[in-house]
Amino acid sequence: MEYPGFPQHHGKLLNAAEEALKTAGFTNIAYVLVESYVKFTDIKGEELISNTADILVGMFIIEQQREEAKGKLLEPLRRQFNDRPGMIGRNGLILVAKRM
């Protein structure tokens, strides 16, 4: 879902959040790199690949483009699960702000 007037890229969102926090009086702002993963243990094979693709496109792709995006994800997900059965890893960034 698009929201007119709001930045859509995560970097722009983080920058806008940082500026809003500074305006609100937060002076100690840091970005912390985190590693996270999702592990699927209850399904396997093609069902795992299809369900994972559904989850990913549901999180990141607008509804009108989900079927096409899902089709493009299937083969990369097969390779991913061959290398790390049932797991998807992801690096993330957390914005930490403290008032000093």
Question: DSSP label at 85?
Answer: T
Cα torsion for 20, 26, 30, 36, to the nearest 10°?
-70
The closest alpha carbon to 12, from 85, 95, 89, 98, belongs to 95
**pLDDT tens for each residue of the chain, 100 residues long:** 455 555 567 788 888 899 999 999 999 999 999 988 878 888 899 999 999 899 888 887 788 888 999 999 999 999 988 888 888 877 788 899 998 8
- Give, in order, the Cα–Cα distances in Å from 39 to each of 44, 78, 81, 86, 93: 11, 15, 10, 5, 20
2/9 Cα distance (integer angstroms)? 11
Tokens of 66: 């989900």
Domain ranges of the chain: 10-98
What b/e sequence results for 45-83 when a residue is b if at least 16 CB atoms lie within 10 Å of its CB, and e otherwise? eeebbeebbeebbeeeeeeeebeeebeebeeebeebbee
